[in-house]
Structure 1
């Protein structure tokens, strides 16, 4: 028989007070966003003239730009619903409806993303290019970073491009087929006998929490859902950590790679976001000490030392 645990009254009071403060803070943040949403929608509506959308200006027009009912009509939504949205009321909005409003208000990509954030609606990353395209100047930048290992990743951590130093440090990842050329997949599915990532178990919780942070912005995309399904099936460790629902923002971290003929190579990874390609980032590895720098140079001179002794 399990003995019930009695929580002291003072502890319960502290816990309830803490939860109340958290709820109030969340409500306050939501209220600020809704207020910003109301001001933003009104400002975008007022900058569009009726003539631009094929509507007659009409007499006694006191409102600059379009009226609320005109926006609702053009977007194909209810007048009351749009009025409440622009008033900042706590109503639910779907991605499809927000897209219609964004098209009607002629929002550019940055404004559209701003609208989604203010309305608390997840949005798939949008841009002029696909997130797996490599910008023209990136290969030259990667080559210029040599002898530092560097790569270009998209939001899902697919490796899109890399330099020679990276290929020497992680040849198996560079040579993987595109569907498996992913840093998260590589770290969690490579068998321990061939996995050079020495401190994986130490950093695994943080890696999965950061991946969930990025996943939350793409959770409606089939490619992301399929990736999570496949890696949970392939890696019990990832599946266990994924089930915790922990989340953490990206940041610098140290990684230690080990090869029998080289020893430990401790690297610090630094991510640099591409401002014109949302979700894409350059990741550069820097040796954390002189020993690691010397061992990396030795590995560059003998890249065969990083090759796995057998195949699975």
Structure 2
């Protein structure tokens, strides 16, 4: 607990009274908040908070650490840090289904010249893609933004059905992966306009959704039947940028055919 106490003391020293709604400091010998001020604002005893800073052998509850994080105006990363120091799991990333991929993610996709790649938000909107992916699936650039959702495209675009020789298997697997990723956010995501419309117009989606399959993502070989390039084989990977955990980058790297020939 020594590191936790040192960190709390450092953050307390960098925070002024007016930043937490207290009157301006007068006559203080040291900058920052006093221990009793932090304890009062967090709703804990001064003695308990003092023991925390001193590194005493005590175990703060998660609720106490959450209260201290609010009081000390900790960032999400700092909040997760003190939870980890006390042996608790980090904060889950906040859902942000509206955010587009930032410019640095687009630049990363663009350098993957020979690998079709795109970024998806938690609701599976496609928020960015590279030229290789547009070559594989040209409609991604022309479809209305409201319909540029992976689930919508898989279940409604005839081009995608023709592109995927194993469409029935892949479409069901996508649904199972979507449910697995959504987890506790599934109720909110299920009320999105895309899911609502798919349930209304697509019997295949409705049947798959009602099956309630759950399957985690695994990298695997994917086969595409391209109208110009013919049969293409890729290895399917998915990554999450450390600074954009709500985005998934889907990357298809050139693979070999079952017989071993490089595509």
> Is the TM value for this pair above 0.5?
yes
Give the one of 186, 200, 224 matched to 2:167: 200
Task: Tell me the alpha carbon deviations over residues 84-114 of structure 1, each in whole angstroms, 9 at most, x when there is no partner.
Answer: xx6469xxxxxxxx7x875334231235568
Q: Tell me, yes or no, if the aligned pair for 2:109 and 2:129 is still in contact at 8 Å.
A: yes
Deviation at 1:285, TM superposition (A): 1.0
Measure the CA separation in 1 of the matches of 2:211 and 2:71: 41
Q: Report the aligned-residue RMSD.
A: 4.3
Task: Tell me the alpha carbon deviations over residues 29-67 of structure 1, each in whole angstroms, 9 at most, x when there is no partner.
Answer: xxxxxxxxxxxx99987764797442899xxxxx95657
Q: Tell me, yes or no, if the aligned pair for 1:131 and 1:277 is still in contact at 8 Å.
A: no
Normalised by the size of structure 2, how large is the TM-score?
0.65
Measure the CA separation in 2 of the matches of 1:171 and 1:192: 9
Q: Tell me, yes or no, if the aligned pair for 2:110 and 2:130 is still in contact at 8 Å.
A: yes
Q: Which residue of 1 aligns with 2:95?
A: 125
Unaligned segments of structure 2, at least 5 residues: 29-33, 45-59
1:71 aligns with 2:42: yes
Q: Tell me, yes or no, if the aligned pair for 2:176 and 2:214 is still in contact at 8 Å.
A: yes
Distance 1:260 1:152, change over 3 A: closer
Aligned ranges for residues 295-306 of structure 1 at < 5 Å? none
Secondary structure of 1:187's aligned partner: helix
Task: Tell me the alpha carbon deviations over residues 99-139 of structure 1, each in whole angstroms, 9 at most, x when there is no partner.
Answer: x8753342312355687xx699977426xxx8533322333
Distance 1:122 1:137, change over 3 A: closer
Deviation at 1:169, TM superposition (A): 0.6
Q: Which residue of 2 aligns with 1:266?
A: 233
Q: Which residue of 1 aligns with 2:51?
A: none
Secondary structure of 2:162's aligned partner: coil
Normalised by the size of structure 1, how large is the TM-score?
0.56
Q: Which residue of 2 aligns with 1:60?
A: none
Q: Which residue of 2 aligns with 1:167?
A: 134
1:253 aligns with 2:220: yes
Distance 1:51 1:152, change over 3 A: closer
Measure the CA separation in 2 of the matches of 1:292 and 1:174: 31
Task: Tell me the alpha carbon deviations over residues 188-212 of structure 1, each in whole angstroms, 9 at most, x when there is no partner.
Answer: 2224895312212223333212111
Unaligned segments of structure 1, at least 5 residues: 1-40, 58-62, 74-85, 90-97, 295-312
Measure the CA separation in 1 of the matches of 2:41 and 2:212: 43
The aligned length equals: 229
Secondary structure of 1:266's aligned partner: strand
Q: Which residue of 2 aligns with 1:210?
A: 177
Measure the CA separation in 1 of the matches of 2:77 and 2:127: 24
Deviation at 1:162, TM superposition (A): 1.6
Measure the CA separation in 2 of the matches of 1:66 and 1:212: 45
